[in-house]
């Protein structure tokens, strides 16, 4: 495993990291073992944006006895209210959620205290003048968070974060498709108006953001590097050719300022596939020939299973339903394994009220209510 310095934090992180978003999908013992396996392979950085107790407990148990050899990205403002994820800046929710993070991770400090998910200028301005940011600074001054970070999908917000001087690293969404779309204060419009013309190169705002990070020694960790797996599929890739994990990892790691790409894993085999990058040949890492091809279609309306559609009023696991629907709809008939996963859900798509509140939070304009109807029809309930 190769380790890189994460900007001005000085932390030496594995260039292949662990995105913990899907840990709750599996039995606790299985997920704890998966994290430990990744650590044995050299992975030493994990992102915990998830507020749910199960995910946090899993990470805490996996780090027990080796906490000092892990670097944790812990998010401030990711809260759990009435059994659902809620992004909040209200300290009556933020403080207990962060204290819960410490308790469940069985630690008294967080290496990278993340200002959780800011994409709009309006929210940026509000947060930077609020008691919330004062709380972040207080945690930093006390050493409870060792370094201040921020997560965003918007390079304009990223540039503002770099210029603050106190934000030392940024969790940012990076993949070839994202890099060629213009910046927006509202991710709902990120792919709006895309007309199937060829990409003309990296978006200037993103290029400038990477440059500023490099110049100011602000480290980057990467989320959504595989775009929910869509870039592995030639029919869904805007370049008309499927990427491999090594190509996408290499793409992310070659962006200025990037120290680590945090991949999502369900199995040890997926960990091995990511780690294989370390021994891959130059030809196996080559993404340039893929990017040179013209795009076939945009991604507007396509779910990447990011989870920002939460909370659902009736507690549907929307991201998982969408994932299972996509897996099933791509087949001539619904695979039995997919049906079993769907049947195992506590609440299925048929419970959808069609209220549309999830659609307001979706960064890619997915017609979620319509997809819930289609999923219920496809699976039969």
DSSP assignment letter at 129: T
Q: With beta carbons less than 8 A apart as the criterion, state whether 186 and 282 touch.
A: no
Q: Any idea which residue has 């996509």 for tokens? A: 326
Specify the DSSP element, H or E, that contains 46.
strand 45-48
Q: Is 318 left (phi over 0), alpha (psi -120 to 50) or beta?
A: alpha
* pLDDT at position 124 over 60: yes
* pLDDT at position 15 over 70: yes
pLDDT tens readout for residues 277-335? 999 998 898 877 676 654 544 445 667 676 778 889 999 999 889 878 877 886 778 87
> In 3-state terms, the chain is what percent helix, strand and coil (to 5)?
45, 15, 40
Q: Which of 49-53, 100-104, 175-179 has the lowest mean pLDDT?
A: 175-179
Give the Cα separation of 101 and 103 in Å (integer). Answer: 6
With bands split at pLDDT 50, 70 and 90, how would you rate the model's confidence at 197?
very low
- Within 8 A by CB and 6+ apart from 112, the residues are 9, 11, 71, 72, 73, 74, 145, 146, 147, 149, 169
From residue 25, how far is each of 21, 29, 161, 254 by CA, in Å? 9, 12, 33, 31
- Within 8 A by CB and 6+ apart from 259, the residues are 4, 5, 6, 7, 13, 15, 169, 219, 220, 221
Please give the pLDDT value at position 304: 63
The β-bridge relationship of strands 78-81 and 16-19 is unpaired
Q: Which of 39-48, 145-154, 302-311 has the lowest mean pLDDT?
A: 302-311
How crowded is residue 280: how many other Cβ atoms within 10 Å of its Cβ?
Answer: 16
Q: What percent of the chain has pLDDT over 90?
A: 64
SS3 37: helix
Quick one: which of 101, 118, 180, 111 has its CA closest to 148? Answer: 111
Q: Which of 131-135, 223-227, 229-233 has the lowest mean pLDDT?
A: 229-233
Q: Which of 42-51, 167-176, 252-261, 282-291 has the lowest mean pLDDT?
A: 282-291
| Average pLDDT, integer, range 339-362 | 91
Does domain 3-291 correspond to CATH entry 3.30.450.40? no
Residues paired with residue 30 on neighbouring β-strands, in sequence order: none
Give the Cα separation of 69 and 33 in Å (integer). Answer: 16
| Average pLDDT, integer, range 118-135 | 95
The β-bridge relationship of strands 258-264 and 219-223 is parallel
| Average pLDDT, integer, range 187-209 | 62
Whats the size of the chain, residue-wise?
A: 381
The whole-angstrom distance between residue 210's C-alpha and the CA centroid of its chain comes to 18
pLDDT tens readout for residues 63-103? 999 999 999 999 999 999 998 899 999 999 999 999 999 99
Q: What is the mean pLDDT of the chain?
A: 88
Selected residue with higher pLDDT from 113 and 306: 113
Quick one: which of 207, 199, 155 has its CA closest to 180? Answer: 199
- Within 8 A by CB and 6+ apart from 338, the residues are 324, 327, 328, 331
Instruction: Sort 142 into a burial class: Cβ within 10 Å, 0-12 / 13-18 / 19+.
Output: exposed
Q: With beta carbons less than 8 A apart as the criterion, state whether 217 and 7 touch.
A: yes
| Average pLDDT, integer, range 167-195 | 72
* pLDDT at position 44 over 80: yes
Please report how many Cα atoms fall inside a 13 Å half-sphere around the Cα of residue 59, on the Cβ side. 32
Q: With beta carbons less than 8 A apart as the criterion, state whether 108 and 74 touch.
A: no
Q: Which of 1-15, 23-37, 224-238, 285-299 has the lowest mean pLDDT?
A: 285-299
Instruction: Sort 200 into a burial class: Cβ within 10 Å, 0-12 / 13-18 / 19+.
Output: exposed
Please name the residue ranges forming H helices in the chain: 28-40, 53-63, 91-104, 121-127, 131-141, 155-164, 176-179, 204-216, 245-253, 268-275, 282-285, 288-291, 318-329, 336-343, 357-361, 368-379
């Amino acid at each position: 495993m190769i380790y890189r310095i994460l900007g001005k934090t000085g932390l030496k992180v594995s260039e292949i990291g662990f995105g913990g978003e899907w840990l709750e999908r599996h039995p606790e013992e299985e997920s704890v073992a998966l994290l430990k396996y990744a650590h044995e392979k050299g992975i030493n950085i994990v992102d915990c944006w998830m507020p749910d107790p199960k995910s946090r407990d899993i990470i805490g148990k996996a780090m027990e006895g080796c906490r000092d050899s892990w670097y944790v990205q812990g998010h401030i403002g990711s809260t759990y209210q009435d059994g659902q994820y809620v992004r909040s800046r209200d300290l009556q929710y933020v403080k207990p959620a962060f204290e819960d993070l410490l308790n469940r991770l069985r630690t008294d400090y967080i290496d990278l205290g993340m200002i959780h998910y800011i994409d709009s200028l309006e929210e940026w301005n509000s947060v930077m003048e609020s008691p919330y940011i004062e709380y972040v600074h207080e945690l930093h001054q006390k050493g409870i968070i060792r370094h201040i970070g921020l997560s965003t999908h918007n390079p304009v917000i990223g540039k503002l974060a770099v210029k603050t001087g106190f934000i030392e690293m940024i969790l940012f969404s990076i993949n070839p498709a994202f890099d060629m779309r213009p910046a927006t204060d509202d991710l709902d419009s990120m792919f709006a108006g895309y007309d199937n013309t060829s990409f003309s190169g990296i978006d200037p705002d993103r290029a400038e953001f990477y440059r500023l990070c490099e110049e100011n020694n602000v480290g980057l960790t990467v989320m959504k590097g595989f775009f929910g797996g869509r870039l592995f599929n030639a029919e869904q890739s805007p370049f008309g050719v499927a990427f491999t994990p090594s190509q996408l990892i290499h793409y992310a790691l070659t962006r200025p300022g990037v120290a680590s790409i945090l991949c999502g894993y369900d199995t040890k085999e997926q960990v091995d596939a990511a780690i294989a990058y370390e021994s891959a040949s130059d030809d196996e890492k080559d993404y340039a020939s893929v990017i040179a091809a013209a795009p076939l279609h945009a991604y507007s309306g396509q779910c990447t299973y990011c989870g920002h559609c939460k909370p659902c009023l009736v507690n549907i696991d929307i991201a998982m339903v969408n994932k299972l629907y996509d897996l099933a709809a791509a087949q001539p008939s619904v695979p039995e394994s997919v049906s079993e996963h769907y049947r195992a859900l506590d609440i299925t798509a048929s419970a959808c009220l069609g209220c549309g509140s999830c659609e307001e939070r979706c960064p890619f304009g997915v017609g979620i209510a319509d997809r819930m109807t289609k999923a219920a029809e496809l699976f039969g309930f």
